[in-house]
């Protein structure tokens, strides 16, 4: 009788900064996995709340908790990656949840597809994961063409590369490297653009689900600082250049220009110098055809006075673009 095939080790890398309120639920969702061979690593990124002690409290259940000086989520993920031994790696934020069968489904999906990346479904929630509505998004399918898949997800300028969705073979990470520690806001956009282009394709796993906790005060996605927008700019520029290096066509130039225009719409009327720099890149790419985001009142006002004036009014009213 032949011995059973070894079960691949999966490392789940969790950066945590002041996540005491959410971390227990996140870890419970990981510990509830039906997949048996897990390595769970929590990197406390210099928290000032009870995050370190909460993480340590799970040590008896197999969670490895390590603390570092505050250096940002990207640095914490890289720290976890250096400690990880898994054949597969999943990066998971400390406030998100995963369905019990996620890891098992994704490992199974990748078993005969080396150098592919598994992608789950995802949906937002605020308090109760029962709020999550799993509505299909662009890219929710298998693909043997990473560039075409990326372009599809860029088409509406709102690609969702939330890290907990993906299971990544170590072989891909070893070729590409870890997270860019210069980045904070939308660091996942640069990371997964780079990772996906290096892979052989995407395997969609609809039975696996990520519950993405949203609208948290102080979260990276809620940042509006100059440093945050500089990060978003750099992340977008790095991603645009990688796609154009792979294929420089009218289509990829339009998608790249629209991704950059989306940034301007997001922070206008602030950071005028950053806006001018981005506009120069958009002009070089041939221009953008992306309309500004906004509800009915914004669109109506913009049709009469232009999007810039309408955006200034929206900013003065304290409203954020969609």
* Alpha-helical runs (H) found in 38-186: 51-57, 73-83, 102-110, 146-154, 170-176
Q: What is the mean pLDDT of residues 318-322?
A: 67
* pLDDT computed for residue 4 by the predictor: 55
Is residue 159 a contact partner of residue 146, using CB atoms and an 8 Å limit?
no
pLDDT, tens digit, 9 for 90 and up, residues 242-272: 999 999 999 999 999 999 999 999 999 999 9
Q: CB 227: neighbour CB atoms within 10 A? A: 10
**Spans of all domains in the chain:** 10-216, 221-290, 295-322
Residue 208: pLDDT band by 50, 70, 90 thresholds?
Answer: very high
* pLDDT computed for residue 98 by the predictor: 98
* pLDDT computed for residue 322 by the predictor: 57
* pLDDT computed for residue 219 by the predictor: 47
Chain mean pLDDT for the chain: 94
* pLDDT computed for residue 223 by the predictor: 52
pLDDT, tens digit, 9 for 90 and up, residues 90-112: 999 999 999 999 999 999 999 99
* pLDDT computed for residue 315 by the predictor: 86
Q: Is 216's pLDDT higher than 80? A: no
Q: Alpha-carbon distance 243 to 256, whole Å? A: 8
Q: Is 141's pLDDT higher than 90? A: yes
* pLDDT computed for residue 2 by the predictor: 56
Residue 226: pLDDT band by 50, 70, 90 thresholds?
Answer: very high
Which CATH homologous superfamily contains domain 10-216? Spore Coat Polysaccharide Biosynthesis Protein SpsA; Chain A (3.90.550.10)
- Reported as type and span, the H/E element at residue 117 is strand 116-125
């Amino acid at each position: 009788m032949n011995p059973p095939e070894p079960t691949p080790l999966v490392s789940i890398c969790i950066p945590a900064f002041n996540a005491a309120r959410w971390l227990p639920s996140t870890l419970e969702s990981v510990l509830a996995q039906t997949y048996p061979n897990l390595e769970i690593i929590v990197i406390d990124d210099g928290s000032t709340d009870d995050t370190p002690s909460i993480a340590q409290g799970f040590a008896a259940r197999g969670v490895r908790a390590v603390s570092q000086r505050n250096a940002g989520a990207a640095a914490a993920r890289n720290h976890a990656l250096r400690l990880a031994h898994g054949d597969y790696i999943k990066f998971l934020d400390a406030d998100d949840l995963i369905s019990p069968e996620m890891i098992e489904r994704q490992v199974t999906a990748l078993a005969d597809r080396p150098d592919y990346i598994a992608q789950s479904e995802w949906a937002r929630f605020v308090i109760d994961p029962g709020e999550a509505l799993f509505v299909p998004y662009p890219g929710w399918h298998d693909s043997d063409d990473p560039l075409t898949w990326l372009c599809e997800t860029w088409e509406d300028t709102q690609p969702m590369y939330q890290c907990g969705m993906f299971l990544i073979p170590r072989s891909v990470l070893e070729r590409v490297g870890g997270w860019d520690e210069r980045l904070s806001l939308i660091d996942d956009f640069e990371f997964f653009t780079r990772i996906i282009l290096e892979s052989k394709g995407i395997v969609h796993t609809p039975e696996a689900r990520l519950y993405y906790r949203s609208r948290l005060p102080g979260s990276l996605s809620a940042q509006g600082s100059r440093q945050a927008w500089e990060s978003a700019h750099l992340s977008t520029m790095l991603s645009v250049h990688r796609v154009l290096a792979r294929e420089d066509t009218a289509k990829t130039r339009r998608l790249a220009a629209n991704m950059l225009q989306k940034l301007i719409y997001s922070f206008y009327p602030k950071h005028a110098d950053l806006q001018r720099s981005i506009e120069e890149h958009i002009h070089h790419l041939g221009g953008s055809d992306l309309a500004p985001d906004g509800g009915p009142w914004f669109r109506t006002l913009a049709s009469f006075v232009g999007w810039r004036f309408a955006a200034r009014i929206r900013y003065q009213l304290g409203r954020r673009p969609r």
